[in-house]
Amino acid sequence: MRFDLSPLFMKLAYLSFLYLVFTYTAWAQKATIRTCDQPLICVTEKDSLYSLCVKVIIPAGHCPVTNYTISWGDGKKDEFTQTLDYSKDNEITRMHTYNLSEFTRSCGSGVDYNLELRTDNTCQPPVDMDIFPITFKSSPRAQFSVPDICQENAVRIGNTSCPSRNEMTYQWDFGDGGTSTDIYPTHIFSSSQDAYEVTLRATNSCGTTTTTHTISTRKTPLAQLRLEGVKVMGSDTLVCLENGGILALDGTVSLGSSRYQWQISGGAYTLVSNTLLTSAVLRVQLKDVTSYQFTLVALNDCETSSPRTIRVRTVAKPELTIQHQPSVCTPIRYRIPNPNPNARYFVNGQPLAIGQERALEFSSQPYIVTAELPYACGTYTPKPDTFYVREVRSLKILSPSRDTSLCLGTALLPLTTSETWGNWQGEPGLVSQQSGKTYFNPKMAGTYPYRYVLGEGECRTEVSVTLTVIAAPESAMFTASVREGCTPLNVTFQPRAAQQTGFTSEWSFGNATTSEAYAASTRLENTTTDRQRFLITHSLKNTCGTKRDTLTILVKPLPKAGIGVDSTVIRCAPARFVFSNLTVGNAGVSVWNFGDGTPKHASSEDTVAHVYASRDQLQTYTITLTAKNECGENQATAQVKVSPSTAKPLFSMSESVVCPGVPVQFTDATVPVATRWLWRFGREGTSTEQNPTFIFQQPETTYTITLVAVTPCGTDSTQKRIQTSIRPQASFSVDSLACIGKPVRLLNTSDLTQTQLTGFLWDLGNGTLDSAHVSPQLSYQNSGPKTIKLTVFGTPRSCASRTLQRTIQVREAPTAAFSVGETFCSAVPVKLTNASVGATAYEWYLDGSPVSTGQHPEVSIPSGVHQLTLKASYLSVCSDSTTEATAVPMDSCWVGLPEAFTPDGVGPSTGERITVFGNKLEKVKLFRILNRWGNTVFENKDFTPNDRELGWNGKDSRGNPMPADLYQYELIYSYGNREDEPNRKVGTFYLLRNK
């Protein structure tokens, strides 16, 4: 049989499609959020924390399991998951508390929040959202203020209601039938009533509130005041300064006033009791003796009173003193000195009129002068004056006759003196009178100075004595900082009695030690293995007695650990040791640490065994035994050494390449540590030291080093090689002289072809080192000897040359300077004056051409402008040059005499005298005339030329005329400023005569 199932499958597919459409449509329904009440929420000032109820509404067909998030709008969220019956509508209630403290405090108009609901699920659609706005609004608060109501005057009422007034409506009732809806109403109240009840009704969308105030009407105030602290005498109102000068003014008795204003004039004052010039009651302290004026003005919100003024006068205590009368030793006649005419005076209670005298005889009692002075505030009584009229006698203290110490509580000590009419001065509580006698009672410890005084002034005499009362120790009891403990025990002992002068302590600590300190300390040590008790004794003593007290201190011992080792302590691996526990002092279980990293071993046995190994070096193991008891622990240690059964010789060298003649350090590193060594240094030597030093002498040689090491448990050897190098030689050249600031070249002449060179080090003699330049160049900035050093480094670098040093002299560079003479004569060389400093050689150039090497040369210079140059140098090392452009005007310089002269006035050169003539002549040093036979007939020196008066008149020295003849002359002269370079000239002339 065949069945056709196609129609059935088609129906099932159709039903499935309808189911999917229905399901998608159902799950697509939107979830919403709403408040449980109205979205407008009214709050009062009490609602600083407000709990809000919301409902989440989920329609039927929603996803069964959903995650919900509510954002409350104040930055907080509520996240939850809910499983619901999707076949029906669902409702979820949630609560949230808002903090509205700032909003309610400020009474704001309103604050808005958005409630946001977000769903998240696995159904379609996966995310859904709903937003619902809410508003918090302030309920109305009716508030207002009204000033005083003045008669028939308009009053503006201050409205302080909240929230914002543009959202509020107001209804005013003024209590006199008048109303208003203004925010700030103005109203005129009649004067028919003393007070009115004003009511305000404030309304907004959150409700209505009402408030009522009773307001009084005000009339013109009347200032009145009441005084306290004054004294009225007739028409005067007085304040007595001796009572403090405090005055109280009460303005509260004024009528119709709410405020007060005071004014004070006349003198200085201070406001007291925290009062002000605006206080209702004013308290003031008056300072000056004068008349004060006080003015009060009473005020209210409507009017100001007329001022109310009063005057008061301050009165000071009068000044009155009784001039002191010194005590006297003879009878006197007494009158009041410098009396006050308004005062009354008394002597021993008897009136004494002003100006009246009274005879005062010897008396054992004092004379007392008193006075009374009436004034406005009463009667003033000054301090009385007391003096004596007594006969002076010798005064001594008979008992005790000297300073005395007494023990506390002993018998009364009589106080007697040679005179009995004086008085004892000192601590009064210890002096008493019995049967007319005076006694000192040592009932209180201390030092008491006493004086016995007779008379005063010139008649005063006194004697003194010091009495000291000493108390015997009451108790030697003391406390200890600890009563028992472990050795060593530090204990401090403190007496219960306070430390006092004159008391001494003696301590015995039960261990042969003592102390005399007030509070003593000691260290108690128990060196036994059992508990030990120490008896502590304290003795406290002074001159009046001794007290003793004792107590016991228990000191517990510490354990004392000890280790014994069987046989030797150095063995070859593997090594077995047996250790003995030598501990004393109730140790019980001890802990062994064998020092090789194995776990610690606790044991109460007398002996323990342990095996040690050592692989490649001698090992030292420290065994620690820790013993404990109630006081602590103590450790003992011992050491054993275990050597490996084989030896590994090792060593190091300070250098592998070494300079000949330089010591090489060889360091043994054999493991384990060797006990004997044999070193072979090629064929040059041997050593048996552990770490020898050896010097190799041959350059460029390879040596084989052999070490044979012997350990406690084995022997072996090893070898290394060492190479010797060549020590380099340093060489350089430098000029022996240099000048400051001039370049100095250091020429390194060392053999630079040596391949083993590793560097150079120059010490330039000026604090500078240079290792970067082979042949450096430098200049020096100060003079003096400079020592230059050169060190050449080879391989290794420690293989350095011996330092080569050379010394050069650094001096100041020469300074070139010169001047040119002022007079220039043709055919006469110009003298050049050299002013150079520090030079030894000179080179002169005229217009660039050399003309001289002299120091002060004379140079022929043609007329014109020329450039002169001087180069000055020192030993051809340092030089300086200077150039000067000089104008040289050449003049005709000449000197001479006439060929003939006639003293009689006839001839080719007539005149009375013949003299020297010339051009550019500065001075004639010598003018000498000789006759035919060489005799001098005339001579003149150091005179100015061209002056006939200074010449020869043709006569001899006696005034006789010389004959006509041929005469010879000699001249010594100089041109211009060249006095130091004279010239010489000789010639002849004729002397002619008319007859």
The domain segmentation of the chain, as residue ranges, is: 25-138, 144-218, 226-315, 332-387, 397-469, 478-556, 563-643, 651-724, 732-811, 818-888, 894-991
Res. 428: pLDDT tops 80: yes
- What is the C-alpha separation between 919 and 38, in angstroms, rounded? 139
Cα–Cα dist 259/261, whole Å: 7
Least confident of 109-123, 253-267, 840-854: 109-123
**Per-residue confidence at 12, pLDDT binned at 50, 70, 90?**
very low
Q: What is the pLDDT of residues 740-758, one digit of tens each?
A: 888 888 888 887 776 577 7
Q: Average pLDDT for residues 630-652, to the nearest whole number?
A: 87
Give the class (CATH, top level) of 397-469: mainly beta
Q: Which CATH class is domain 144-218?
A: mainly beta
Q: Which residue has the higher pLDDT, 398 or 977?
A: 398
Confidence of residue 566 (pLDDT cuts 50, 70, 90): confident
- pLDDT band at residue 23 using 50, 70 and 90 as cut-offs: very low
Per-residue model confidence (pLDDT) at position 1: 39
Give, as one character, the DSSP assignment of residue 5.
-
From the candidate CATH numbers 2.60.40, 1.25.40, 1.10.10, 2.30.30, the one assigned to the domain spanning 894-991: 2.60.40
Domains 144-218 and 397-469 share a fold: yes
Looking at the predicted structure, is the pLDDT value of residue 5 above 70? no
Task: Please compute the mean of the pLDDT values over residues 712-730 and round it to a whole number.
Answer: 86
Helix, strand and coil content of the chain, in percent to the nearest 5, comes to 5, 50, 45
Residue 387's contacts (CB-CB under 8 Å, 6 or more residues apart) are: 324, 325, 326, 327, 328, 366, 367, 456, 457
Going by the DSSP 8-state scheme, the letter that residue 300 receives in this structure is -
- Per-chain mean pLDDT for the chain: 84
CATH fold label, 478-556:
Immunoglobulin-like (2.60.40)
Among the ranges given (343-357, 820-834, 886-900, 920-934), the one the predictor scored with the smallest mean pLDDT: 820-834
pLDDT at position 24 is: 41
The CATH architecture assigned to 563-643 reads Sandwich (2.60)
272 against 978, higher pLDDT:
272
Q: 11 φ, ψ to 5°?
A: -65, -45
Dihedral sign, Cα of residue 835, residue 838, residue 841, residue 845: negative
Is it the case that residue 3 has pLDDT exceeding 50? Answer: no
Please give the pLDDT value at position 2. Answer: 41
Q: Which CATH fold topology does 25-138 show?
A: Immunoglobulin-like (2.60.40)
Alpha-carbon distance of 834 to 856, in angstroms, equals 6
Identify the CATH assignment for 732-811 out of 1.25.40.80, 3.40.50.920, 2.60.40.10, 3.40.718.10: 2.60.40.10
pLDDT in tens, 134-151: 888 888 888 888 777 776
- Please give the structure tokens belonging to residue 617: 């070096």
As given in the structure block, the two tokens for residue 52 are 């809000």
Please give the DSSP secondary-structure letter assigned to residue 787: E
Residue 157 has pLDDT above 60, yes or no: yes
CA distance 833 to 844: 11
Backbone angles phi, psi at 575, to 5 degrees: -120, 130
Contact yes or no for 249/308 (Cβ under 8 A) = no
Least confident range of 232-246, 253-267, 809-823: 809-823
Q: What is the mean pLDDT of residues 661-683?
A: 89
pLDDT digits (tens, 9 = 90+) for 930-958: 998 888 889 988 888 888 888 888 888 88
The CATH number of the domain covering residues in 651-724: 2.60.40.10
The domain 226-315 having CATH identifier 3.10.180.10: the answer here is no
* pLDDT the model gives residue 206: 85
Percent of the chain whose pLDDT exceeds 90: 28
The letter for the amino acid at 412 is: L
Per-residue pLDDT tens digits for 320-367? 999 998 878 889 999 999 999 999 999 999 999 999 999 999 888 889
Q: What is the dihedral of CA 904, 907, 908, 913, to 10 degrees?
A: -10
Tell me which residue has tokens 């509510």. 70
Tens of pLDDT, residue by residue over 780-791, are 888 899 899 888
> Which pLDDT value is given to residue 821?
66
Q: What average pLDDT does the segment 424-431 reach?
A: 91
The whole-angstrom separation of Cα 843 and Cα 713 is 92
Kindly state the average pLDDT of the residues 46-51: 86
> 818-888 adopts what CATH topology?
Immunoglobulin-like (2.60.40)
Q: Is the pLDDT of residue 482 over 70?
A: yes
pLDDT for residue 494? 94
